[in-house]
Amino acid sequence: MSKTQSTHGVLYIVATPIGNLEEITPRAVRILREVDLIACEDTRHTKKLVNHLDINTPLTSYYREKEQLKAELLLQQLQDGAQIALVSDAGTPCISDPGGVLVRHARAAGIQIVPISGPSALATALSVAGLEESGFYFGGFPPSKTKARRDFFKCQAPLPCPLIFYESPHRIQHCLLDALHVFGDRHALLFRELTKLHEECREGVLSELSNSCAGKNRGEFVLIIDGAMQQNTDKPEDIDELILWYRDQQTVSLKSAVQQIATDLGLPRTQIYQRALILWKKGNQNNL
């Protein structure tokens, strides 16, 4: 393998399969064979991949909790001329996975950084989501705690584009329930085990998807939630007018409207629900 004109090595950012092992590219296989070292999120996980590919390159761990320390050690090896490949457990490194610290250090030190493109759960889910919009918001993994997760979602609630998140099997139902609390009962897509044997896509509103995840879940998830509904007029600020505004849109339920108004105004849902119930029913009677 040729080196750069300097005595420095090269850092390769190598995408690996998110499930199906046939999806690794020939270029990625060649790089993993030729480098001096493979830095990986979990050596036990990557060991299975390199054994499958008959690759004997040494492995070293590079995980989130020790990222700063390991980045410094790997940088020194790169400066000494080592060729290093960075991989994550699945997909493209540095996208909701460790790697950003090492990349920044390497670039600052004048190390050549070469991306070896390949699988990504984000791109894979988008390709089969059937979205018509050209833009989207990618939030990675939401925070693990309820309050932080809801605050995180509140920042994205007004966005008109699809919202995309990763989530783990043991947190997916809590994530969906918090999304329902903040966004209301929006339409969403939930992908599980992409490219694997038990790959599936569930489609429905957030309440339905959260119910489908009750109990034990397996596999990694990609969640795509519809963006906020855009209107030609601004929302009113008065509670009664706001309730009527949501009612007249005829695209949301009473429950969803109450949840959204409570989020918008920072008021208890019970207070809004009692008033909304009266106005909503009155509007329906007038339409008879």
- pLDDT (tens digit per residue) in 54-107: 999 999 999 888 899 999 999 999 999 999 999 999 999 999 989 999 999 999
- Kindly state whether residues 114 and 128 are assigned to the same domain: no
User: What's the number of domains the chain is made of?
Assistant: 3
The Cα 41–Cα 88 span in angstroms is 5
pLDDT digits (tens, 9 = 90+) for 242-252: 888 777 765 56
Q: What is the pLDDT of residue 253?
A: 75
Decide if 3 is inside a domain.
no
The Cα 237–Cα 67 span in angstroms is 47
Query: Are the beta carbons of 31 and 63 closer than 8 angstroms?
Result: no
Which tokens is 50 given? 């390199």
pTM given for the model = 0.77
The Cα 88–Cα 285 span in angstroms is 58
Query: Are the beta carbons of 109 and 79 closer than 8 angstroms?
Result: yes
Decide if 60 is inside a domain.
yes
Which tokens is 24 given? 């690794």
Query: Are the beta carbons of 141 and 167 closer than 8 angstroms?
Result: yes
pLDDT at 276 > cutoff 90: no
Among candidates 34, 91, 30, 97, which has minimal Cα distance to 62? 97
- Kindly state whether residues 249 and 282 are assigned to the same domain: yes
Which tokens is 262 given? 């409570």
- Kindly state whether residues 169 and 192 are assigned to the same domain: yes
- Kindly state whether residues 113 and 128 are assigned to the same domain: no
Query: Are the beta carbons of 219 and 193 closer than 8 angstroms?
Result: yes
- Kindly state whether residues 274 and 212 are assigned to the same domain: no
DSSP state of 23: G
- Kindly state whether residues 169 and 107 are assigned to the same domain: no
Decide if 76 is inside a domain.
yes
**Cβ atoms within 10 A of the Cβ of 45, count?**
14
- Kindly state whether residues 253 and 200 are assigned to the same domain: no
Decide if 230 is inside a domain.
no
The Cα 260–Cα 211 span in angstroms is 20
State the pLDDT confidence band at 283, using cuts at 50, 70 and 90. Answer: low
Higher pLDDT, 22 or 240: 22
Decide if 30 is inside a domain.
yes
The Cα 261–Cα 237 span in angstroms is 10
Decide if 154 is inside a domain.
yes
Instruction: Give the HSE-up count for residue 161: Cα atoms under 13 Å, Cβ half-sphere.
Output: 9
pLDDT at 1 > cutoff 70: no
Which tokens is 65 given? 């909790």
Q: What is the CATH number of the domain that holds 101?
A: 3.40.1010.10
Decide if 83 is inside a domain.
yes
pLDDT digits (tens, 9 = 90+) for 222-238: 999 999 876 555 666 67
What percent of the chain has pLDDT above 70?
Answer: 91
Of 118, 146, 165, the one marking the end of a domain is: 118
Query: Are the beta carbons of 18 and 121 closer than 8 angstroms?
Result: yes
Query: Are the beta carbons of 94 and 103 closer than 8 angstroms?
Result: yes
pLDDT digits (tens, 9 = 90+) for 156-200: 999 999 999 999 999 999 999 999 999 999 999 999 999 999 999
- Kindly state whether residues 127 and 111 are assigned to the same domain: no
Instruction: Give the HSE-up count for residue 78: Cα atoms under 13 Å, Cβ half-sphere.
Output: 26
Which burial class, exposed, middle or buried, applies to 190 when counting CB atoms under 10 A from its CB (0-12, 13-18, 19+)?
A: buried
User: Domain span at residue 18?
Assistant: 10-118
Of 69, 94, 118, the one marking the end of a domain is: 118
Name every residue whose Cβ is closer than 8 Å to that of residue 158 and which is 6 or more positions away in sequence. 228
Q: What is the pLDDT of residue 235?
A: 62
Decide if 231 is inside a domain.
no
- Kindly state whether residues 113 and 14 are assigned to the same domain: yes
State the pLDDT confidence band at 288, using cuts at 50, 70 and 90. Answer: very low
Average pLDDT for 128-157:
94
pLDDT digits (tens, 9 = 90+) for 113-135: 999 999 999 999 999 999 888 89
- Kindly state whether residues 186 and 253 are assigned to the same domain: no
Q: What is the pLDDT of residue 233?
A: 52
